[in-house]
Structures are given as C-alpha cells and as structure tokens.
C-alpha cells in the first residue's frame, strides 16, 4: 500500500500555532510560519469556551508529565497523540483517524516488525537517558523563543518545573477555586455573610480526604491487574492531586485521567474498596475548576455514567453510595462545578437509548438515595440536595427532590429513629428553597402525614428552620388557592 505522507499535525488555537517537539511543545505567533511551511490541509475542529490561561496551564503540565521527552515514541506516543489530546481537551473532538491510524498502517506492512523493533530500541534509549527531570531543560522553543512567549508564560513554566522537582507533599487540604471563599470547614452547614451584608449558602464539602492513602491502596490493589501505562496514569493523578494550589501542574489533569478512574468505578471485576479509593481521588480533583473544564469536554460523561451504573444495582453498598454522593457534593464546591453538575444540555445514553443531562442524572440519583434505609446514605443525599437547591434547576426536578424530602419526613412519623440533625438541617433548608421555586410542592399529598410539631420537638436545632418552612408551605398553598379561585 502506498502512503502519501507521514505528516506532522500542528494545532492552531488563540491565533497561535502549537506543535509537539518530542520534549513538550513549541509555538509560533502566526499560523503557517514554522520551518515546515504552510499546511497541506486544514481541518476545522470548531471552537472552545476555555480561557487561554487554562489552556496554557494544561499544555505546560502535559509537557512535564504525559508528553515529556522520556515518554516519546514515534509509533505509540507521538506528535499525533499530542495534537489529539489537545483537540479533545479544547473541543471534545478528535483529529481525523487517517492521521492517528498512520502508525498502525505502517506496522501492517512487511517491514512493520523490523520497524517496530528499531523504534522500540530508540525509545528505550531515550527513556534511559532521561531518568528524572533535567532542571536546565526548557520546554517549547529553546534557542530562539517566539517574541510572543511573554513573561507570564515563562513564570508558569518555572513554577511547573519547580513543582516536579520538589518532594511529594502529603495531601490533606482541599483544592480551592478563586470563586471559593476559602473556608476550611469540613462537612458543616454555614451561612456566610458576603461583603454586601446579605447571606449566601455555603455548600457541603467533604475536604478531609487522605489522597496519599487512597493512592497507596489503589497502587497495591491494581498491581499486576492493569498494564504499566495505566499505572503511570494513576501516578499522574496522584501527582496532580498532591500539588499545591499555586502549582500550575495541578491544572494538567486530562480526560484520560478521569476515564481511568471511572473505569475502576464501573468495573465488575474490581473490589468495592478500590472503587471507594478511586471515588476519594475524584472527590479531591473535582474541587478544582480546571478539572471541571476537562469534565465538560468528556464525551463519555464518566462520572454521570457511574451514577447511572450505581442506580441500576439492586443492593448497592451503602459505603459506595456515600462516596458517590460526596463526590458530587464536592463538585458543587465551586460555581463552575455547580454549573457542570446542574447542566441541562442533553446527551445520549447509548445503552438505554435515551436522552439524559447532568442535572437529570444527578437529581434522580439523589432522590433515589434519599429513599435508602441507610442513615449515612440519607445524610449525604440530604447534603447533596442542599447543594443542588442553590442552583436554578428545572421546576420539575425541584419538585422531584422536594417530594423525596417530604417522603423522608412523612416516613419519620413511623420510623423516628431514621432521622438525625445531620439529615434534618440540610433537608429543611433545601425543601424551603424548592417550595419558593415551585408552589406545586405545597399541594403534595404527603404534607398531611408529616407531624411538623413533633419534628420541631425532636430537633430543636432546626426548630426555627422548620417554622420557616411551614410558613413557606402555607404561603404557597394560599397563593395557589387564591389563583385557583380567581381563575374560576
């Protein structure tokens, strides 16, 4: 078979041209001005909503980890793979298969086995000569930097290199976003006064995560089970999770890392403890806005697919349900994360042949968990419900969650031991918000079966909250009755 070329793909974004150089990437300020000359063909992959700074942070991190020089392989891990990862990160699309399939076509020729042996030897010699990171090595253009490679980007690169050379810290503090207020409160309900004096609700966040322990258990449990390249992905996830907030490598998590962890979560062969540890790693990662940006680009919707898999189990482990609920709670810790969790954009579930959305999957999973008999599951589901109540979710889904909460309170009349302060506080606050959103809840058939006075007596800490909820229900009911009378 005749091959026209073995081309080198380059990627144009932010009006600049980026390309792999074996030890990271290089760029030129004007597309088509590299030493290779103008392109033979141009493929439009669409547009991206990611800011330039996040894109550059991702590029810098990938240059120091996944696509550092010691991992380059002309056949298996080359410039095509680099451009493909970049395309998927920015647009969710892949570069054309006739580019990524070129190595396979070459290996299918009679000379393929000999070429494979030769290139493997070259790759091994390169890897052997790059044990560790050379502090003097720079990534991107070295001798002749582009004039557009400004001081800010130089600073980002220096920070990333310094972080790789530094010893691994033990991770305890959670990653926080610029839009987060910075509270270290763990799993505690708060109303924090803003600068204007008005109160805004703080989400429940599970920040006491020992990422080092989770990583160690995953390492031991997956040893000999997954191929070496997957072990490297786990190492990268740990590296990303244990960098500090000021370290730009923390922004380099990619689609492959989320896919790897979600594959553990949905595996039928792996044990429950490994799934719980993978969920803990994700709980930590999703608190960073750049990680949320990557999740938005994942066409497989790995975390949402995990919730769907859990929801289909007849007798799921309560511990695993709790960790899944904590994962979504932590994703709500930033405004960007909450926006992703409650995204109404539809996507196709090919297995069930139906249209779904992040907000629909999340709400259905949360409502399903509220009905579980486990106190711990109910508590974490109530906290997620509270987090969701601060978003503008569709009325019908607000009613669905509100009905699930009303059912929880109604059942407590016959099973009072099922409720606790940890459930009542977030549940009452969330239900109050949903009643404000939809007066339909005030007409629920479940309300007459709820002894609000008994609830106030049993949970004095929530007495005022419950009184406020009763007032909202009565006001909504009166408003509905008045509207019905007027219409009649």
Distance of CA 436 to CAs 191, 399, 410, Å?
Answer: 18, 11, 20
**Average pLDDT of the residues in 145-153:** 37
Matching residue, tokens 């609920």: 325
Query: Is residue 62's pLDDT more than 90?
Result: no
- More confident site: 182 or 72: 72
Q: Is 12 helix (H, G, I), strand (E, B) or coil?
A: strand
111 shares a domain with 30: yes
Which domain-ending residue is among 346, 366, 386? Answer: 346
Q: What is the pLDDT of residue 271?
A: 83
Within a domain: 270: yes
Measure the CA dihedral 82/83/87/89, to 10°. 20
* Higher pLDDT among residues 152 and 76, named by residue: 76
How far is it, in rounded angstroms, from Cα 242 to Cα 285?
A: 10
- 60-74, 227-241, 389-403, 410-424: which has the minimum mean pLDDT? 60-74
Whether residues 327 and 265 share a domain: the answer is yes
What's the whole-number mean pLDDT along residues 265-279? Answer: 88
Q: Are 66 and 200 in a shared domain? A: no
Q: Copy the structure tokens of residue 398.
A: 């607000």
Cα 393 versus chain centre, distance: 19
Residue 487 lies inside a defined structural domain of this protein: no
pLDDT of residue 56: 76
Average pLDDT over the chain reads 75
Q: Are 441 and 482 in contact (CB under 8 A)?
A: no
Question: For the whole prediction, is pTM greater than 0.75?
Answer: no
Residue 439 resides in a domain: no
Q: Domain limits at 55?
A: 11-130
| Pairwise CA distance, residues 416 & 454, whole Å | 10
**Percent with pLDDT over 70 in the chain:** 72
Asked if residue 101 has pLDDT above 70, the reply is yes
| Dihedral, CA of residue 288, residue 140, residue 19 and residue 84, to nearest 10 | -30
Kindly write down the DSSP assignment for every residue of 243-301, as one continuous string.
Answer: S-TT-GGGG---HHHHHHHHHHHH-SSS-HHHHHHHHHHHHHHTTSHHHHHHHHH-TT-
Q: How confident is the model at residue 97 (pLDDT cuts 50, 70, 90)?
A: confident
Higher pLDDT, 110 or 356: 356
For residue 90, give both structure tokens: 């920015």
Structure tokens at 382: 């109530």
Instruction: Return the pLDDT at 140.
Output: 33
pLDDT of 250 over the 50 cut: no
User: Where are the extended beta strands (E) located within 77-152?
Assistant: none
Model confidence pLDDT, tens digit, residues 26-56: 777 777 777 667 777 788 888 877 777 777 7
User: pLDDT class for 238, splitting at 50, 70, 90?
Assistant: confident
The pLDDT assigned to 103 comes to 80
Q: What is the pLDDT of residue 291?
A: 83
For the chain, percent of residues with pLDDT exceeding 90 = 23
Cα angle 401-407-411, degrees, rounded to a multiple of 5: 150
On whether both 124 and 172 belong to a single domain, the answer is no
pLDDT at 284 over 60: yes
**Which of 286, 321, 346 delimits the end of a domain?**
346
User: Residue 121 is part of a domain; what is its CATH number?
Assistant: 3.90.1720.30
**243 and 124 housed in the same domain:** no
pLDDT of amino acid 316: 87
Catalogue the long-range contacts made by 301-307 (C-beta closer than 8 Å, 24 or more residues apart).
Answer: 301/347, 301/358, 302/258, 302/259, 302/261, 302/262, 302/263, 303/258, 303/262, 303/327, 303/328, 303/331, 304/356, 304/358, 304/361, 304/362, 305/262, 305/266, 306/262, 306/265, 306/266, 307/361, 307/362, 307/365
Higher pLDDT, 225 or 378: 378
Regarding whether 327 and 259 lie in a shared domain, the answer is: yes
Burial of 392 (0-12, 13-18, 19+ CB in 10 A): exposed
Q: Give a yes or no: residue 461 inside a domain.
A: no
Distance CA 159, CA 53 (A): 14
Which of 132-141, 213-222, 285-294, 344-353 is the least confident region?
Answer: 132-141
Q: Please give the Cα distance from 330 to 11 (Å, whole number).
A: 34
Alpha-carbon distance of 303 to 290, in angstroms, equals: 16
Task: Provide CB contacts within 8 A for 427, sequence distance 6+.
Answer: 382, 385, 386, 405, 408, 409
Query: Is residue 276 pLDDT above 90, yes or no?
Result: yes
Q: Is residue 193 part of a domain?
A: yes
Same domain, 342 and 260: yes
Structure confidence by residue, pLDDT tens digits, 392-421: 899 899 999 999 999 999 887 666 667 888
Rounded distance between C-alpha atoms, residue 408 and residue 419, angstroms:
8
Is 406 in contact with 372 (CB distance < 8 Å)?
no
Residue where a domain stops, chosen among 324, 346, 368: 346
Does residue 256 lie within any of the structural domains? yes
**What is the predicted pLDDT for the residue at 403?**
92
Total count of domains within the chain: 2
Please, which residues have CB within 8 angstroms of residue 391's CB and are 6 or more apart in sequence? 332, 338, 339, 341, 342
Backbone region of residue 145 per phi and psi (left: phi > 0; alpha: psi in -120 to 50; beta: other values): beta
Q: Which residue has the higher pLDDT, 477 or 433?
A: 433
Spatial neighbors of 159 by CB under 8 A, at least 6 apart, are 246, 247, 248
Cα dihedral 143/147/152/156 (nearest 10): -30
Report yes or no: 75 and 103 within 8 Å, Cβ to Cβ: yes
In terms of domains, do 170 and 105 share one?
Answer: no
Instruction: Classify residue 254: in a domain, yes or no.
Output: yes
Query: Where do runs of H (alpha helix) occur along 299-420?
Result: 302-311, 318-331, 335-341, 358-370, 375-389, 395-411
Over residues 194-221, the mean pLDDT reads: 77
Q: How large is the average pLDDT for residues 123-145?
A: 36
Same domain, 172 and 280: yes
Long-range contacts made by residues 430-433, C-beta under 8 angstroms, separation at least 24? Answer: 430/382, 430/385, 430/386, 430/388, 430/389, 430/401, 430/405, 431/402, 431/405, 431/406, 431/469, 432/465, 432/468, 432/469, 432/472, 433/389, 433/390
Say yes or no: 205 and 323 in one domain: yes
């Amino acid at each position: 078979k005749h091959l026209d070329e073995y081309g080198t793909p380059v990627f144009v974004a932010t009006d600049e041209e980026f390309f792999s150089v074996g030890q990271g990437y290089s760029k030129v300020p004007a597309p088509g001005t590299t030493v290779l000359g103008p392109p033979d063909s141009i493929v439009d992959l669409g547009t991206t909503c990611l800011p330039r700074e996040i894109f550059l942070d991702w590029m810098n991190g990938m240059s120091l980890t996944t696509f550092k020089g010691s991992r380059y392989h002309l056949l298996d891990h080359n410039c095509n793979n680099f451009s493909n990862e970049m395309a998927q990160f920015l647009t969710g699309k892949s570069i054309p298969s006739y580019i990524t399939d070129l190595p396979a076509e070459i290996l299918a020729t009679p000379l393929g086995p000999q070429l494979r042996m030769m290139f493997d030897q070259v790759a091994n010699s390169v890897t052997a000569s790059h044990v560790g990171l050379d502090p003097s090595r720079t990534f991107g253009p070295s001798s002749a930097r582009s004039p557009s490679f400004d001081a800010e980007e130089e600073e980002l690169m220096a920070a990333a290199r310094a972080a790789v050379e530094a010893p691994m810290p033990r991770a305890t503090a959670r990653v926080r976003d610029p839009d987060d207020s910075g509270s270290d409160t763990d799993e505690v309900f708060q109303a924090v006064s803003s600068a204007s004096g008005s109160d805004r609700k703080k989400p429940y966040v599970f920040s006491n995560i020992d990422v080092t322990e989770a990583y160690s258990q995953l390492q031991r449990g997956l040893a000999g089970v997954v191929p070496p390249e997957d072990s490297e992905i786990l190492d990268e996830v740990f590296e990303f999770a244990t960098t500090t907030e000021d370290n730009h490598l923390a922004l380099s998590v990619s689609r492959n890392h989320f896919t790897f962890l979600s594959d553990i979560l949905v595996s039928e062969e792996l044990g429950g403890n490994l799934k719980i540890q993978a969920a803990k790693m994700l709980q930590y990662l999703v608190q960073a806005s750049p990680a949320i940006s990557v999740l938005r680009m994942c066409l497989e919707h790995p975390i949402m697919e995990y919730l769907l898999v859990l929801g289909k189990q007849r007798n799921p482990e309560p511990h695993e349900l709790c960790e899944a609920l904590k994962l979504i709670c932590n994703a709500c810790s930033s405004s960007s994360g909450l926006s992703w969790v409650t995204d109404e954009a539809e996507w196709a579930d090919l297995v069930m042949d139906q249209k779904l959305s992040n907000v629909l999957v999340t709400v259905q999973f949360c409502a399903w968990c509220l009905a579980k008999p486990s106190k711990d599951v109910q508590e974490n589901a109530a906290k997620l419900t509270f987090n969701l109540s601060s978003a503008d979710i569709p009325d019908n889904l607000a009613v669905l969650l509100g009905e699930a909460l009303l059912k929880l309170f109604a059942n407590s009349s016959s099973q009072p031991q099922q409720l606790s302060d940890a459930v009542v506080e977030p549940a009452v606050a969330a239900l109050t918000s949903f009643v404000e959103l939809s007066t339909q809840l005030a007409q629920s058939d479940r309300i007459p079966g709820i002894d609000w006075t008994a609830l106030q007596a049993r949970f004095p800490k929530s007495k005022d909250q419950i009184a406020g909820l009763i007032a909202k229900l009565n006001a909504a009911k009166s408003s509905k009755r008045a509207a019905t009378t007027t219409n009649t």
